[in-house]
Amino acid sequence: MSIPKKDYSFVRNKLLNKEEIAFLDVREEDPHAREHPLFAANLPLSRIEIDAYGKLPKKNIPIVTLDDGEGYAEHAAQRLSVLGFSDVSVFDGGVQGWKAAGGELFKDVNVPSKSFGELVESKRHTPSLSAQDVKKLLDDQEDVVVVDVRRFDEYNTMSIPTGISVPGAELVLRLPELAPNPKTKIIVNCAGRTRSIIGTQSLINAGIPNEVNALRNGTIGWTLAGQELDKGQSRKFKDVSESTTTEAANRARNVADRAGVKRASLSDVGKWQSQAERTTYFFDTRTPEEYEAGHLPGFRSVPGGQLVQETEMVAPVRGARIVLVDPSGGGVRSNMPASWLAQMAWDVYVLDGVQASDLSETGPWKAPLPNLPVIGTADASTVSQWLKTDSNTIAVDFSTHANYVKGHIPGSWYALRSQLVDAIQKLPQVDRYVLTSTPAELSYFVASEFQALTKAEVVVLEGGNAAWVAAGLKLEKGPSHLASPPLDRYKRPYEGTSVDPAAMQAYLDWEFGLVEQLGKDGTHHFWVL
C-alpha cells in the first residue's frame, strides 16, 4: 500500500487556517515527550485499533502520522487505512524534518495546555504565593482553605497539609460552601503550575469574593522549599445546596458568554452526530460517578479540569468542534472548561436544556472498536492450569507498564507491541505463549504479529486480565520480567514521592520558557480573557 507524504507547509497551513487535521505522533509517550511539534497529538502505534475510532470519530479527516525515522509512521498510516480512514499520509522527514523546515519542537506532555496556562499567567498576572508564605499561613492558623485541583489519585499520593481534593472544573461550584466567609483566603494547588493557574484564574474570572492565590509551583515548589507533603489523604468536596448551585451556574455562564462559548441543544447533537464533513467531540464533564449513574448516549466521560489539562489526549483533531454537558451541576462544570477551551481556540459549545430523563445510558464509557481478529483463545482457569503444570507455557502482558506494575498474572512478562521484534528475543523460548492485556481487546490485535515472529503456539487469554481477576485468581505486583523498556509512559517530574530536586527545578524552568516558544511557533491562536 503506497502512502502519500505531507510536508511542513501543509500541516502548518491547516493549523493557521483552523482547518481540521489529526497530526499524530505515533511513537510511544516517552520518545514523544522528548520532542515533538506543539499540536502533534500522541496516539501510539501500539494502541491504534484501541484508540482510533474513539479519538478520530470521522473517517475522512486529514490524518498525518509522525515519527522520528523509526518507520512507525508508515505502519500507523497503513493500519489507519485498513481501519477505513480515507485521507491518511505520513509527515515527510519526521520530527527532524519539522525542525529543519523551521518548526518549533516542544518537550513534555500536554504541551498545548501547559503553554496556554503560562500565557494566561503572563497576561493576567495570576496571583500566587510561595510555598514558604503558604506554610506560614497554615502554621499561624490563619483563615485559609487549600484546594487541590488535580485528579483525586494524584492528590491521594501526595498533598499540601490541610488540602482538600476539588478537581478543577468543580471549583466554582464547590468553593462557596468550602469557604462561606468571603474573608477566607483560598490557595489553589496542583503538582506544578498549569492547573493551579487555571484554577485560580477560574475563581477570579467567576467573581468569587475571596482572595485567591495559586501555590507557586505547586507540590514541586513545596518540596524544593524543603517542606513535608502529606500522603494518603482523602478529604473531598461535598455536595452543595440548590441555591449555591444556582449562583455558581450564573457566574459560570457569565464567564462562558464573555469567552464567546456557543450554545447547543439536543437537536444539534443529533445533527452533529451524523454529520460526515465535520468532527465533533461530545464530552460529559461531571465526575465519573455521576456519568456512570446516567448520561446522554454518545457522550464520553472526561471531567472538565482534566479536559482543559489534557485536551489533545481525548480530542487529537485540531480544528474540531467540542460539545460539553453538565446536566446535574447547573452547567458550571461545562461552562467553566468551555470558557478555557474557547480561549485555546477550540470551536466549543455547551449543551443546554438537558433533562434527567434524557440521561438514558448508564455505566462507564466504552471505546468504539473495530471487529476483533479471529484468534485462538483460552479461558482463565485453563490458562491458570497451564501456567501451574506446564513449564513450556508463559503469559505475555501488553498492558501499559503502569497497569502491569499495579498487578499482573504471576510470572508473566511485560512487552510493548511497538517493540515486539526485540521483546521476543528476550522472552523465554517456550512452546506456548498466552497473550493478555488491559484492555482485553489489545492482545487480540497483537496476536497475529506475535505469531508471525514465532513457531510456538500463540493463544489469547479470553477477557484479558479482567477475566483473570473475575475468576478469583491472584495477581502479583512490581516491575518483574520486563521484555521491553517502559517507553509507553513518560515519567513526569512531578509524579510520585521520590523525584530528584534537579529534575523538578528543570521542569519549572522549562514551563517558564513556554510563552517564548509559543511566540516562535505561531500556530496556536490562543487568546486570554
- Amino acid identity for residue 393 in this structure: T
In whole angstroms, what is the distance from residue 135 CA to residue 130 CA?
9
What letter represents residue 372's amino acid?
Answer: L
pLDDT digits (tens, 9 = 90+) for 143-183: 999 999 999 999 999 999 999 999 999 999 999 999 999 99
List all residues 6 or more positions away from 397 whose beta carbon is below 8 Å from its beta carbon: 404, 408, 409, 412, 413, 414, 415, 436, 437, 465
What pLDDT score does 119 carry?
A: 96
> Is a pLDDT exceeding 70 seen at residue 494?
no
Q: Hey, what amino acid is at 57?
A: P
| Fold topology of 5-111 | Oxidized Rhodanese; domain 1 (3.40.250)
Query: What average pLDDT does this structure show over 214-242?
Result: 95
**510, three cell numbers:** 522549562
Residue 84 grid coordinates = 477505513
Instruction: Specify the 3-state DSSP secondary structure of 164.
Output: strand
Predicted local confidence at residue 498, as pLDDT? 61
**For 98-136, how does the pLDDT look when each residue is reduced to its tens digit (9 = 90+)?**
999 999 999 999 999 999 999 999 999 999 999 999 999
Mean pLDDT of the chain: 95
- pLDDT value at residue 497: 56
Residue closest to 64 by CA, chosen among 84, 48, 80: 80
Quote the pTM value. Answer: 0.95
Report the 10 Å Cβ neighbour count for 212: 24
Kindly tell me if the per-residue pLDDT of 234 is higher than 90.
Answer: yes
- 495 pLDDT tier (thresholds 50, 70, 90): low
CATH of domain 121-233: 3.40.250.10
In degrees and rounded to multiples of 5, residue 252 shows phi and psi of -65, -40
Residues 188-203: pLDDT tens digits?
A: 999 989 999 999 999 9
- Please list, in sequence order, all residues whose beta carbon lies within 8 angstroms of the beta carbon of residue 187, skipping any fewer than 6 positions away: 129, 134, 137, 144, 145, 146, 147, 160, 213, 214, 215
Q: What is the pLDDT of residue 491?
A: 79
Q: Is 187 helix (H, G, I), strand (E, B) or coil?
A: strand
To which H or E segment does residue 321 belong? strand 321-325
CA 170/CA 287 separation, integer angstroms: 9
pLDDT in tens, 388-415: 999 999 999 999 999 999 999 999 999 9
Beta strands 317-318; 21-25: pairing state: antiparallel
Q: Would you say 185 and 202 are in contact if contact means Cβ atoms under 8 Å apart?
A: no
The DSSP annotation for 230-256 comes to B-S---B-----HHHHHHHHHHHHHHH
For CA atoms 457, 372, 55, 289, the dihedral sign is negative
Interval 330-385: pLDDT, tens: 999 999 999 999 999 999 999 999 999 999 999 999 999 999 999 999 999 999 99
Segment 289-315, tens digit of pLDDT: 999 999 999 999 999 999 999 999 999
Q: Which of 60-69, 467-476, 504-513 has the lowest mean pLDDT?
A: 504-513
User: For residue 262, what is its C-alpha cell?
Assistant: 456557543
253-to-116, 229, 247, 264, 330 alpha-carbon distances in Å:
22, 36, 10, 14, 9
- How many other CB atoms are there within 10 angstroms of residue 243's CB atom? 9
CB neighbours of 314 closer than 8 A, spacing ≥ 6? 55, 281, 283, 300, 302, 307
Fold: same for 5-111 and 250-354:
yes
Domain spanning 377-470, CATH class: alpha beta
* Mean pLDDT score, 245-249: 97
Please write the tens of the pLDDT for every residue from 9-49: 999 999 999 999 999 999 999 999 999 999 999 999 999 99
Question: Is the pLDDT score of 496 beyond 60?
Answer: no
Domain boundary assignment for the chain: 5-111, 121-233, 250-354, 377-470
CATH of 250-354, one of 3.40.250.10, 3.40.462.10, 3.40.50.150, 3.30.70.260: 3.40.250.10
Contacts of residue 330, Cβ cutoff 8 Å, sequence gap at least 6: 173, 245, 246, 248, 249, 252
Q: Are 488 and 401 in contact (CB under 8 A)?
A: yes
The H-assigned helical ranges of 310-400 are 311-314, 332-343, 380-389
